Chain A
Amino acid sequence: MMKLSTGDKVLQLFIYIILLLLGFVTLYPFWNSLVISFNMGSDTSLGGITFWPRVPTLDNYEVVFQDSRIGQAFMISIMRTLTGTILSVLFTAILAYGLSRHELIGRKFYMVFCIITMYFSGGLIPTFLLLREFGMMDTFWVLVIPGLISVYNMIIFRTFFLGLPAGLAESARIDGCNHIGVLIRIILPISGPVVATLSLFTAVYHWNDWFSASIYINDPSLIPIQTLLKQILNSNIVTDQLQSVGNAAAQDRLALVQSVTTKSLIMATTMVATLPIIMVYPFLQKYFVKGVLIGSLKE
């Protein structure tokens, strides 16, 4: 370690202070929302809730979990994230594997065909009308199918596949394995970090996307959690919601419901919608940093 001059030490101190502030500003909104979600709603509205709940309670969560719409939206989001991620990563990998094979005729043409779509697209309106003409509105699959193949992810996969030793696939082919078999039994298992990164990104996309459901889906039973949360944040649905919960729940719940406010309910719902991401993210962190780098090479 080199010795630091006084100027360097001042610089260091300055940097530590800025980074600490930055970290605080990044974490505080989470923490504050978490605290509000665990504080009694009627007490929160008196103000002054910052770092710690004043009247700790689980009432807000109880109301959230009793609301059948939130539970259903949560299930839709989970189903969408699972099917969307598995199918999308698999199909994207199949395409990437195909395009990484040297014996494929017209490889270059196919690549260009794919890459063009990264720069040009029909835009929102034609895509919307097309999906409508296909009769995909108000179906679960409209959330999964249009995004099935991601050209961007395909390029990352392909770059990685091209770096694998060619003999690997060849020997399996000689042993009588077909291409799909080679991909699933040999290539994907040794592509762990890439598969993990791209799965994480795809899953995060599916979990977080609220917009496509907001334009393609009207059926309340198919609305994912983020779209529902957006609706709750945006309108006065919350008051209805409180009432519907009040009606649906037993009479003795009524007192409980009254201590819950719009704000505390929104915060609890937000936390429910955030939780799955926060839970998987630390485990995958070391992978996605690598994934971003593979991706940025080709950007």
Chain B
Amino acid sequence: MVVPAMIFIFIFSYLPMYGVLMAFQDYQLFGGFLHSPWVGLKHFEAFFNSPDFWRVMRNTMVISLLKLCFGFPAPILLALMLNEVRSMMFKRVVQTVSYLPHFLSWVIVGGFVGSMLSTDNGSVNMLLMSLNLTSEPISFLSVPEYFWGILVGTGMWKEMGFAAIVYLAAIAGIDPHLYEAASIDGAGRFKQIQLITLPCIRPVIIIFMILAVGNILNAGFEDILILATNPILRDVSDVIDTYVYRMGILNNRFSYAAAAGLFKAVVSVTLLALANKAARKMGSSLW
């Protein structure tokens, strides 16, 4: 029963791993992996020396770090706030609404963002103009300065509610006696959050932190492809993944793109291992 699945996984997951070798070849379309000439580190050198390298690395790191700084704490805050809500009805409605965007495709979310921010009577521009904050509509999606903010904000809008599920469950698992004892000792809700809730969900937070750090080179892919359609944004929007896609799939530079992709994979795995090591020192780890 298991063997056919193993063969399947071998074909669709392990064969592509073998295909990574093409990063060290000049991949020829008609020769395939087996008959393409070996060229050593040529494509890696080309990637590191290209002016794209620093631009792509900078964007990858900046976008990732921004997502980490804002996107990571947001669901924790949301969970903490939801936990303070006394009305079950209200809580359930807010939760249901907050999950919803997670189930939409990036294409649809991109459509919403485009529509909200459009200069052609987009709601955001209408609001800004009615508040006299701007005299004419701002073309948000073609100003490089705004792109990172829009990208991070949209990501939070989409995933915050869903990510909060795990934290809410962790909070629900806390022994209510702790709160009773604290309130008898005179701790207000705010103190209770600080002294009980947060320490109790710390292990969960750390595990998700490790995963987030391991993902640091995954600055985004679909979201950037969808939101950064304007080539003006390329200077701030190009990250390793989108670069690999553009070079490989659109420009047919297969070996070069595979080299860039492999570089990313190696750095990612290293970061994950380092993050896990750091976390182990703090007392919880993935493995």
Binding site for B on A (CB under 8 A): 1-2, 4-5, 7-8, 11-12, 15-16, 18-19, 22-23, 25-30, 32-33, 36, 44-50, 91, 94-95, 97-99, 104, 110, 113-114, 117, 119-130, 133, 145-146, 148-149, 151, 179-180, 204, 207-211, 215, 226-227, 229-230, 233-234, 263, 266-267, 270, 273-274, 277-278, 281-282, 285, 289, 292-293, 296, 299
- Once the chains bind, are B94 and A19 in contact (CB under 8 Å)? yes
Nearest residue (CB) in B for A230 is: B107
A85 to chain B, nearest CB (A): 14
Q: Which residue of B lies closest to A180 (CB)?
A: B1
Q: Which applies to chain B's interface (DSSP): helix, strand, loop or mixed? A: helix
Q: Is the CB of B111 within 8 A of A270?
A: yes
Instruction: State A104–B6 Cα separation when bound (angstroms).
Output: 14
Q: Is the C-beta of B5 less than 8 angstroms from some C-beta in chain A?
A: yes
- What per-residue 1/0 map shows which CB atoms of B243-260 lie under 8 Å from chain A? 011001100001001100
Which residues of B (2-59) have their CB < 8 Å from a CB of A?
Answer: 2, 5-6, 8-9, 12-20, 22, 27, 32
Bound-state Cα–Cα, A23 to B188, Å: 27
Contact B104 A113 (CB under 8 A): no
Question: What is the chain B residue whose CB lies nearest that of A44?
Answer: B121
Contact B105 A209 (CB under 8 A): yes
Besides A122-B13, A126-B22, 15 other CB < 8 A contacts?
A11-B84, A16-B85, A19-B94, A29-B112, A46-B121, A94-B1, A98-B1, A121-B265, A125-B244, A128-B248, A226-B105, A233-B110, A267-B115, A293-B166, A296-B166
| Contact B111–A229 (Cβ < 8 Å) | yes
Do residues A95 and B2 form an inter-chain contact, with CB atoms below 8 A?
A: yes
Specify which chain A residues have a CB less than 8 angstroms from the CB of B229 in the assembled complex.
Answer: 233-234
What 5 A-B pairs are tightest by C-beta distance, nearest first?
Answer: A122-B16, A126-B19, A208-B105, A47-B121, A98-B2
Q: Bound state CA distance, A145 and B111, in angstroms?
A: 29
**Inter-chain contacts of A104 with B (CB < 8 A):** 2
Chain A's closest residue to B112 (CB) is A29
Query: Chain B residues with Cβ under 8 A from A274's Cβ?
Result: 104, 108
In the complex, which range does the number of interface residues on chain B fall in? 35 or more
Q: In the assembled complex, how far is the CB of residue B161 from the closest CB belonging to chain A, in whole angstroms? A: 7
Q: Of the candidates B98, B100, B123, which one forms a contact with A22 in the assembled complex, judged by CB atoms under 8 Å apart?
A: B98
* Residues in chain B near residue A33, CB distance under 8 A: 111-112, 115
- Distance from A172 Cβ to chain B, minimum over Cβ atoms (Å): 15
Tell me whether B101 and A299 are in contact (CB under 8 A): no
Please give the distance in Å from A168's CB to the nearest CB on chain B: 17
The answer to the question of B86 belonging to the interface, with a C-beta cut-off of 8 Å to chain A, is: yes
| A26 B8 Cβ-Cβ under 8 A | no
Contact of B207 with A149 in the complex, beta carbons under 8 Å: no
Contact B262 A123 (CB under 8 A): yes
Q: In whole angstroms, how far apart are the Cα atoms of A73 and B197 in the complex?
A: 48
User: Do A130 and B166 contact each other (CB < 8 Å), given the known contacts A121-B13, A149-B5?
Assistant: no
Q: Is the CB of B82 within 8 A of A19?
A: yes
Q: How far is the CB of A205 from chain B (nearest CB, A)?
A: 10
